[in-house]
Structure 1
Amino acid sequence: MKNIHVLLIPYPAQGHVTSLMEAARCFTSNGLKVTFVNTDFTHKRVMSAWSETDGPSGLMQMVSISDGMEPCDDRNDFGKLTKTMFQLMPTKLEELINDINGKDDEKITCIVADFSMGWVTRVARKMGIRLAVFCPTSAAVLAVIMSLQKLTVDGVINSKGVPLKDQMIHLSTSMPIMNPAYFFWLCMGDPITNQIFYDFLVVDGKEAAEDAVHIICNSAMELETGAFALFPKILPIGPLLATNTSTRQVGHFWHEDSTCLTWLDQQPIRSVIYVAFGSITIFDQQQFEELALALEDTKMPFLWVVRTGTSGDNVDYAYPSGYMDRIGTRGKMVSWAPQQEVLNHPAVACFMSHCGWNSTMEGVSNGVPFLCWPYFADQFFNKTYICDIWKTGLGLKKDDAGVVTRGEIKNKTEELLSNNIIKENALNLQETLMSGLRAGNSSNKNLNKFVDWVKEGNDHM
């Protein structure tokens, strides 16, 4: 019997790859055959960090195509990367699909594309292949993209996505209030990069979302009822977690340091501050030292993910003088952690986070309270969900010089860990979120609905 063959393609950033990889594992466990397409650069990183025991299943193959950039180019320049990909990758993807279909009698009948890779819609249309869109962010972020025309007509933004006045807005009465100054394409860095993201990623993402028959999202109905009410086309199938399939998370760009799990085993229950800011956040030396000294001042055990120059990001921090001697075994620093296992560990008391959506979903799924420190893109809005809507965390504030001081960090940590209401909210939200994955409940039903649609194959072309 032939398998239905689906091609998946993420945007080449860590959170996009890991979440779509978890979706891929859900598909293969439901009998779909998956070809997972990374860029050449990302493919090398993922495969080198992938342990033998976590390798692809028989129904999933990992392939890659060029992102159009030179080997020496800086792929942390997301503006240049995005522009180059959108110009050169469509032809490469078309060639790959033709090559696969020429050799494989199980031809690709559906493409699932990250909404940040909106150019894929034109390839799917040209080749007569059904298209679904994957949303690795909150549904609210995609709701903003799908509301661009309304936002322009209402005078909230101009045709280039720039806010026209200083005002808070509601996309609908059932959605959280939003500050247009923090729309994610305005938080990518410099104005030129912001504009590239708007012109290529946002506008094309809207086209892809409109073209797609289905949009699947790494979220849950119970987390974002307003966004799903506004756009019922978006199907939440989350949280997409490795624990759903009883395996370790895959798709990482770096090797995970599992020694931190042994260290956590030696700490008292709910005593550890877990500090991790994802794959992109970079601090200057002053801010790094403030954070280091704040963690020292708390007198609590802490697990801190510190990406260093060895990760290829040219990040090298100097700890304050004598710091390691003073900290001793109370602090554990690693360059990359098995985050889902860490957050699931009973020793963890709270999560100091950049509020990336994957980290947000992982923290919520484990009932862990947050200390929110957003860095860019959608992270500012995710903080709004955590602090103002779900009330499962507190935000860290910068001083007039733009620094989050050691005093602010220490005080907010103490405030969070003494707040039983926030802890209770976090545990209640965890139960609500995880119940959606059970057979017959919302996320589980949506996943089955989507898989059934894919399996219908050519019947509805």
Structure 2
Amino acid sequence: MKEMVDAREKPHAILVSYPLQGHVNPSVHLAINLASRGFTITFINTHSIHHQITSTSDGEGDIFSQLRQSHGLDIRYATVSDGLPVGFDRSLHHDQFMAALLHVFSAHAEEAIEKIVRHSQPAVSCLIADTYFVWPGKLAEKYGLLYVSFWTEAALIFTLYYHMDLLRLNGHFGCIDTCEDEIKYIPGVESIEPKDLTSFLQEMDTTTVCHQIIFKAFMDVKTADFVLCNTVQELEHETISALQHKIPFFAVGPVFLTGFTRTTVMTSLWAESDCSRWLDSKPQGSVLYVSFGSYAHVAKADLIEIAKGLLLSKVDFIWALRPDIVSSDDQTPLPGGFMEETGDRGMIIPWCCQTEVLAHPAVGGFLTHCGWNSVLESIWFQVPMLCFPLYTDQFTNRKLVINDWKIGINLYDKVRLTSVEVAEKINQLMVGKIGDEVRVSIKNVKSTSEKALAAGGSSEKNIDRFIQELEGIYKHDYKCIDTLAVHAENDE
């Protein structure tokens, strides 16, 4: 029996990443963090995400192989189908993609999880899965695993979804005549305007596939043994404290590797352009970095006004412009003559290593969609933001950036965007008094994030406490199993 106990001393977690760029990045970094603390990790990616990563990085097979060789971390790797062909355009056919994740992916995930549980050593102790999956709690229970939900967004978003019943009860969600009053009844949230709710909580139609995912996911997460959140305790203290009265909730962010900007694990879904030489030619703090993330689309009319506004502003800029930013069917969304008029003032690239760009001293501002990873990275590199949210959590992230932390300014609020306004806001951020004020604020917020990740900081303490509690439950359960097995042997 002692050999059985020893084999289980090392925690083994299956980690399933949600198949979107903004979820893959923190999931990979969480895997590295836990493996560096003694975990065995089996990381499950989808065939589609794996194909995109390896086709853009000239890599093959296991994305963790180089890290395993260089650092000796026990991170294993598996891929499964998300229910759609690898070549299917998920961006163009968003609803079909989400429907596959809702209805089909769980079968493929279960097949992989069952195989890993049956054949792996050390024995699997827990399932770590993105909160947006609708099945982890059921599979964890079926295979006798602890269930750890990984929330890759802000705690504020989590608590809004967690309390959808209150929003519905008070007429702020799922009603024909939606209430426009300020929301002051969510535990741990002093107040929030309806316009700052996520896009899904602002929509009238609550029968969409994305709403079904959210409803089912937040029923499932209430069964979790632990929730790990990619945020900083001190930045969302009241919200997190209120959540901790209802669920074991640990703020462990920002979940990325802070010692360097590029890891040995490739995660980018697009080939990255090298912008360093162009940036080296620009004065400190003079360049505006523009990127609207890895998935959401921009209306073509807005994109044209932004492009014209960049020219009017006279500010140097680097723009990571995805080929499908408007649609996979529209590969030339910029206004005619834009590239010629830009000259050396601007650099247009399909994609880049965002942390390397933000870390460059020439970059002094970020025109962003307010994706959570972008917000955390902007804070880390002390680059103030010009906020242009497009979808899902980005409207609520903007509220945190502008109202709570005062580290950015707003571009516009659901009115017609004009190039003149774009130019004015760019100049306010880059050379105006408002820009100076947000630069002071973001320096302080960066200090808070840095302290959280330092030895003795809140995020370090939280991940250590999570591991201690997880191992305590795990070892206690197996001690009971081994005791029962000994009694069974004696009875024989």
State TM-score, norm by structure 1.
0.90
> Which of 416, 428, 432 is 1:415 aligned to?
428
Give a deviation string over 1:56-114, Cα, whole Å, max 9, x none: 43222231212122456442234332332232222322221222233322232111111
- How far apart, in 2, do the equivalents of 1:265 and 1:303 lie? 12
User: One-letter code of the match for 1:169?
Assistant: I
Task: Determine the structure 2 residue equivalent to 1:217.
Answer: 229
- How far apart, in 2, do the equivalents of 1:451 and 1:125 lie? 20
- How far apart, in 2, do the equivalents of 1:436 and 1:18 lie? 20
Shift of the alpha carbon at 1:116? 0.3
User: One-letter code of the match for 2:364?
Assistant: A
Task: Determine the structure 1 residue equivalent to 2:180.
Answer: 166
Q: Is this contact kept in 1: 2:298–2:326, CA < 8 A?
A: no
- How far apart, in 1, do the equivalents of 2:185 and 2:329 lie? 40
Task: Determine the structure 2 residue equivalent to 1:92.
Answer: 108
- How far apart, in 2, do the equivalents of 1:278 and 1:416 lie? 20
> Which of 327, 342, 350 is 1:327 aligned to?
342
Where 1:108 maps in the other structure, the secondary structure is coil
- How far apart, in 2, do the equivalents of 1:177 and 1:51 lie? 48
Q: Is this contact kept in 1: 2:369–2:390, CA < 8 A?
A: yes
Higher alpha-carbon Rg: 2
Alpha-carbon spacing, 1:74–1:309, altered in 2? closer, same or farther (3 Å): closer
Q: Is this contact kept in 2: 1:172–1:230, CA < 8 A?
A: no
> Which of 304, 316, 319 is 2:319 aligned to?
304
User: One-letter code of the match for 2:32?
Assistant: R
Shift of the alpha carbon at 1:313? 3.5
Q: Is this contact kept in 2: 1:22–1:241, CA < 8 A?
A: yes
- How far apart, in 2, do the equivalents of 1:29 and 1:305 lie? 33
> Which of 120, 145, 160 is 2:136 aligned to?
120
Spell out the pairing of 1:376-391 with structure 2 (5 A cutoff).
376-391=391-406
Alpha-carbon spacing, 1:187–1:377, altered in 2? closer, same or farther (3 Å): farther
Spell out the pairing of 1:360-375 with structure 2 (5 A cutoff).
360-375=375-390
CA RMSD of aligned residues (A): 2.7
User: One-letter code of the match for 1:43?
Assistant: H
Alpha-carbon spacing, 1:459–1:427, altered in 2? closer, same or farther (3 Å): same
Alpha-carbon spacing, 1:261–1:303, altered in 2? closer, same or farther (3 Å): same
- How far apart, in 2, do the equivalents of 1:205 and 1:435 lie? 32
> Which of 439, 444, 454 is 1:428 aligned to?
444
- How far apart, in 1, do the equivalents of 2:437 and 2:334 lie? 35
- How far apart, in 2, do the equivalents of 1:306 and 1:111 lie? 36
Task: Determine the structure 2 residue equivalent to 1:253.
Answer: 269
Q: Is this contact kept in 1: 2:17–2:129, CA < 8 A?
A: yes
- How far apart, in 1, do the equivalents of 2:272 and 2:345 lie? 20
User: One-letter code of the match for 2:215?
Assistant: V
Structure 2 residues not aligned, in runs of 5+ = 1-5, 69-73, 478-492
- How far apart, in 1, do the equivalents of 2:329 and 2:203 lie? 18
Give a deviation string over 1:136-192, Cα, whole Å, max 9, x none: 11011111122123334444434xx87742222024475253234654362798947
Give a deviation string over 1:379-399, Cα, whole Å, max 9, x none: 001111111111111111167
User: One-letter code of the match for 1:446?
Assistant: N
Spell out the pairing of 1:157-306 with structure 2 (5 A cutoff).
157-158=173-174, 164-172=178-186, 174-175=188-189, 177-180=191-194, 183-184=197-198, 186=200, 191=205, 195-199=208-212, 201-232=213-244, 233-244=248-259, 247-248=262-263, 250-257=266-273, 259-306=274-321
User: One-letter code of the match for 1:262?
Assistant: R
Identity of aligned residues (%): 26
Task: Determine the structure 1 residue equivalent to 2:357.
Answer: 342
Where 1:274 maps in the other structure, the secondary structure is strand
Where 2:128 maps in the other structure, the secondary structure is strand
- How far apart, in 1, do the equivalents of 2:324 and 2:129 lie? 32
Alpha-carbon spacing, 1:453–1:315, altered in 2? closer, same or farther (3 Å): farther
Task: Determine the structure 1 residue equivalent to 2:36.
Answer: 29
Aligned length: 454
Where 2:459 maps in the other structure, the secondary structure is helix
Task: Determine the structure 2 residue equivalent to 1:442.
Answer: 458
Task: Determine the structure 1 residue equivalent to 2:485.
Answer: none
Give a deviation string over 1:429-458, Cα, whole Å, max 9, x none: 111111110001101111122233344473
Q: Is this contact kept in 2: 1:132–1:215, CA < 8 A?
A: yes
Shift of the alpha carbon at 1:24? 0.9
- How far apart, in 1, do the equivalents of 2:260 and 2:226 lie? 23
Shift of the alpha carbon at 1:129? 0.8
Q: Is this contact kept in 2: 1:288–1:317, CA < 8 A?
A: no
User: One-letter code of the match for 1:330?
Assistant: R
User: One-letter code of the match for 1:166?
Assistant: E
Alpha-carbon spacing, 1:245–1:453, altered in 2? closer, same or farther (3 Å): farther
User: Bigger CA drift: 5-14 or 270-279?
Assistant: 5-14
Alpha-carbon spacing, 1:214–1:354, altered in 2? closer, same or farther (3 Å): same
- How far apart, in 2, do the equivalents of 1:155 and 1:319 lie? 41
Task: Determine the structure 2 residue equivalent to 1:42.
Answer: 49
Structure 1 residues not aligned, in runs of 5+ = none
Shift of the alpha carbon at 1:287? 2.5
Alpha-carbon spacing, 1:181–1:413, altered in 2? closer, same or farther (3 Å): closer
